[in-house]
Amino acid sequence: MDKLVIRGGNRLAGKVTASGSKNSSLPVIAATLLSGQGCFTLHRIPDLQDIRTFTQLLNHLGAETSFSGNTLTVSTGNVESLLAPYELVKKMRASIYVLGPLLARFGEAKVSLPGGCAFGPRPIDLHLMAMEKLGAEISIETGFITAKAPGGRLNGACIEFPTSSVGATGNALMAAVLARGTTTILNAAAEPEIETLCFFLSAMGARIAGTGTTELLIEGIDSLSSVEFTNVFDRIEAGTLLAAAAITGGSITVDGVEPEQLRSVLKKFIHAGCTVTRTEDSVTLASPETLVATDITAKPYPSFPTDMQAQWTALMTQAEGTSRITDKVYHERFNHIPELNRLGAHIDIIKNQAVVHGPRKLSGTKVMSTDLRASACLVLAGLVAEGVTDVLRVYHLDRGYEKIETKLASLGAEIAREKYREFD
């Protein structure tokens, strides 16, 4: 297995370019299943384990894919299997994204039920509710969801989500674009990843109004075309890199971004005392002498993202004062706290809130990644800890951060990837 070995203490400086967004690539790749015509060319797709797993799933269904230099080509004309097997779904919950497009194009789909995940239960009831509203008949047996559209085609409907869900909104959208008639999605997720999916579907010929808002209106059509498309930047990666600069007392520029999508995060950096400068496509962050404790509450976009919560917690271990971290999306997403405390942080969990007492001097040791963003948080802590921090099980990190150690090293961090045996 791989680990990251970090010698903390270097202030980061320089410029780095954001990669393409993982969380928008996944629904965009799934949406290629909606059209059997021609070949899609998708640019700025990050080379990540999750993307590889997802293309494997498409290959399993019969699609042809080729991935090189962040450009993915996909032809879905030969898709003939409508079954997403457990072996692939268990590796990545986002595999559920094939449900909507398969059902919309073929009138049928069978997808293995995803399991739980490291930070609590992650139901898919809203995905199923949306498919049922569109007329699908759903049954769950032997660990599989089987969905069928009577007569082979879904019908437009009004779908109102009781809770904002990125994945369920994406699935509903992909199902609705080929449904007969009009669909309204209320309380839709307005995350940039869904906005990007709307742009992609619209480029394919879909008729969608309300892109970027919580109310989407979709006029179903009979068929969609293949297109060439450039993906959006990864706002979570960009935010993580800025946090890496802030935790080391450094100053960096991240370019290739749309700063507006980072607004809630940048606001918190400013509150914490950082100087933030924006251009049309870059953000520069300069750290203060002393960081100021700053509370956050993770909520759906445009609020502070849950996927930046763990990294913010790491940052607050170096801030003067007490900060409170609340996550309203995943109430129990605190697996990283015991590991941060092992590095010397003082964080209590009180009633679904992490209370961070800072600043604390961290000192390097071995720490274990438990999920994607928890790993990023531990890397940040390692960058400021005295001595050497070994972040084990970095396969979690590799699911979502493209060349993270190369990027951090280019900014001056002392970080290297090494092999290790789990029980050494």
Binding site for ligand UD1 (CB under 6 A): 23, 26, 94, 122-127, 163, 165-168, 189, 193, 306-307, 329-330
CB of 423 to ligand UD1, least distance (A): 30
Query: 237 vs 339, which CB is nearer to ligand UD1?
Result: 237
How far is residue 323 CA from its own chain's centroid? 25
- For residues 71 and 49, what is the distance between their CA atoms, to the nearest angstrom? 15
CB of 157 to ligand UD1, least distance (A): 17
Query: 127 vs 393, which CB is nearer to ligand UD1?
Result: 127
Query: 157 vs 166, which CB is nearer to ligand UD1?
Result: 166
Rounded-to-10 torsion of CA 230, 128, 57, 150: -100
- For residues 336 and 209, what is the distance between their CA atoms, to the nearest angstrom? 40
The answer to whether 158 is a known catalytic residue is no
CB of 162 to ligand UD1, least distance (A): 8
Instruction: Check: CB of residue 408 under 8 Å from CB of residue 380.
Output: no
Per-residue H/E/C for the chain: CEEEEEECCCCCEEEEECCECHHHHHHHHHHHHHCCCCCEEEECCCCCHHHHHHHHHHHHHCCEEEEECCEEEEECCCCCCCEECHHHHCCCHHHHHHHHHHHHHHCEEEEECCCCECCECCCCHHHHHHHHHCCCEEEEECCEEEEECHHHCCECCEEECCCCCHHHHHHHHHHHCCCECEEEEECCCCCHHHHHHHHHHHHHCCEEECCCCCEEEEECCCCCCCCEEECCECHHHHHHHHHHHHHCCCEEEEECCCHHHHHHHHHHHHHCCCEEEECCCEEEEECCCCEECCCEEECCCCCECHHHHHHHHHHHCCEEEEEEEEECCCCCCCCHHHHHHHCCCEEEECCCEEEEEECCCCECCEEECCCHHHHHHHHHHHHHCECEEEEECCHHHHCCCCCHHHHHHHCCCEEEEEECCCCC
For tokens 């919309």, name the residue.
Answer: 104
Query: 23 vs 248, which CB is nearer to ligand UD1?
Result: 23
Query: 235 vs 407, which CB is nearer to ligand UD1?
Result: 235
Q: How far is CA 181 from CA 130, 207, 324, in A?
A: 15, 11, 47
Q: Annotated catalytic residue: which of 39, 117, 198, 377?
A: 117
Query: 126 vs 243, which CB is nearer to ligand UD1?
Result: 126
Instruction: Check: CB of residue 212 under 8 Å from CB of residue 198.
Output: yes
Query: 165 vs 317, which CB is nearer to ligand UD1?
Result: 165
CB of 408 to ligand UD1, least distance (A): 21
Strand order in the sheet with 228-230: 64-68, 71-75, 40-43, 228-230
Residue nearest to ligand UD1 (CB): 167
CB of 39 to ligand UD1, least distance (A): 24
CB of 418 to ligand UD1, least distance (A): 27
CB of 335 to ligand UD1, least distance (A): 13
Query: 117 vs 416, which CB is nearer to ligand UD1?
Result: 117
CB of 236 to ligand UD1, least distance (A): 8
* Catalytically active residues, by annotation: 117
